[in-house]
């Protein structure tokens, strides 16, 4: 028989342990109990386009956001998109060129993401990065994920490409602690020693970008085989641009003044409904927006996710 005081100590230790480790199986996933049993591919996530490109300065014409990364995540952004360029031998997130808008080193950005992930163990997050300079996933990108401490949290599919119907549930990703999905738009196809950096277009298709038509006509713009279109998940590039110099190919910029309409429920649902016939009659997995702090995107996502 253990003395009574020892039982008390054991009970206290058990309670302390339970508080430090997330419950398994997870009972809340991305904020909702009903998401735990849903496939990763069957949830609509709101994304921040050029998420690093934030500024409060209305004259910063190359910005696409007003609020910083921790604030975007706090609002509920669960896909972060960003474009990388080399600057003095350090990988930075920049818009078109680092002289136009420099969002700083990718490592600093990923450290902020890691802080969020540590504080929010029941959240699945997607990172969608573009690689216009064709830099190596293994020798340039992976070391930065390693240094930020994110590699161990990434989801590595058993085989590629993953069909829409074959993604794991949010609950199983959270239970396994592999709750970060990383896509790169180029150089990740074929044999790739950085196995967590997934080739975007073999599994995700996108609508066209640099749209200036507020009705957002839907079409499949960027996609790779061999999976059929409807076996991909898809992203709607739902940001409206203004052509401020309508001569030649023009100069287009994002437009915060239209953001409350563009990021409103009606505009997002109309775009999603227009795309559904191309996407196996499913909602988009990702709705990519400028100025994510403006509008009602999270309400639109609830509707697309069938949340009353």
224 catalytically annotated = no
Catalytic residue chosen out of the listed positions 92, 95, 232, 238: 95
Q: What is the helix (H) or strand (E) element at residue 92, kind and residue range?
A: strand 90-94
We find the least distance from the C-beta atom of residue 74 to ligand NAG, in angstroms, to be 22
Residue 138 to residues 10, 65, 135, 178, Cα–Cα distance (Å): 47, 30, 9, 19
Binds ligand NAG by CB under 6 A, chosen from 49, 85, 142, 179: 49
Q: Which of 302, 296, 304, 294 is nearest to 264 (CA)?
A: 296
SS3 153: helix
| Closest residue to bound ligand NAG by CB | 209
Q: What is the rounded distance in angstroms from the CA atom of residue 249 to the CA atom of residue 270?
A: 28
SS3 109: helix
The interface region with ligand NAG, picked from 66-74, 150-158, 165-173, 212-220 by CB under 6 A, is 212-220
In the complex with ligand NAG, which residue's Cβ is closer, 115 or 230?
230
Catalytic residue chosen out of the listed positions 49, 92, 232, 238: 49
Q: What is the helix (H) or strand (E) element at residue 107, kind and residue range?
A: helix 106-119
We find the least distance from the C-beta atom of residue 262 to ligand NAG, in angstroms, to be 11
We find the least distance from the C-beta atom of residue 225 to ligand NAG, in angstroms, to be 18
Q: What is the rounded distance in angstroms from the CA atom of residue 267 to the CA atom of residue 139?
A: 41
Q: Is 288 in the site for ligand NAG (CB under 6 A)?
A: yes
232 catalytically annotated = no
Map the footprint of ligand NAG across residues 156-185, applying CB under 6 A: 185
Q: What is the helix (H) or strand (E) element at residue 289, kind and residue range?
A: strand 286-289
Q: Binding string to ligand NAG for residues 214 to 253, with x set by CB under 6 A, is what? A: -x-x-------------------x-x-x------------
For ligand NAG, how many residues bind (rule: CB under 6 A)? 21
Residues engaged in binding ligand NAG (CB under 6 A): 42-44, 49, 81, 128, 130, 185, 206, 209-210, 213, 215, 217, 237, 239, 241, 282-283, 285, 288
Q: Give catalytic residue positions.
A: 49, 95
């Amino acid at each position: 028989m253990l003395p009574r005081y020892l039982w008390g100590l054991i009970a206290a230790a058990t309670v302390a342990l339970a508080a430090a480790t997330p419950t398994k199986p997870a009972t809340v996933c991305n904020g909702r109990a009903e998401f735990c049993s849903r496939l990763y591919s069957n949830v609509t996530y709101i994304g921040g386009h050029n998420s690093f490109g934030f500024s409060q300065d209305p004259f910063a014409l190359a910005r696409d956001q007003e609020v910083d990364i921790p604030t975007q995540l706090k609002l509920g952004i669960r896909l972060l998109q960003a474009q990388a360029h080399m600057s003095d031998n350090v990988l930075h997130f920049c818009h078109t060129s680092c002289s136009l808008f420099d969002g700083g080193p990718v490592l600093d950005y990923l450290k902020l993401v890691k802080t969020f992930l540590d504080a929010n163990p029941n959240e699945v997050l997607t990172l969608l990065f573009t690689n216009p300079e064709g830099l190596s996933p293994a020798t340039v990108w992976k070391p930065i994920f390693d240094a930020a401490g994110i590699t161990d949290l990434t989801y590595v599919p058993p085989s590629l490409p993953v069909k829409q119907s074959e993604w794991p549930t949010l609950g199983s990703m959270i239970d396994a602690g592999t709750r970060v999905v990383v896509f790169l738009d180029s150089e990740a196809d074929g044999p790739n020693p950085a196995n967590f950096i997934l080739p975007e277009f073999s599994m995700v298709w996108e609508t066209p970008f640099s749209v200036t038509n507020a009705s957002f006509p839907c079409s499949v713009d960027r996609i790779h085989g061999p999976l059929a279109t409807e076996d991909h998940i898809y992203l709607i590039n739902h940001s409206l641009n203004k052509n401020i110099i309508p001569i030649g190919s023009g100069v287009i910029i994002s437009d915060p003044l239209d953001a409350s309409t563009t990021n409103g429920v009606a505009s997002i649902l109309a775009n999603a409904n227009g795309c559904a016939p191309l996407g196996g009659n499913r909602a988009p997995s990702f709705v990519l927006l400028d100025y994510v702090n403006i509008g009602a995107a999270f309400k639109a996502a609830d509707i697309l996710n069938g949340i009353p």
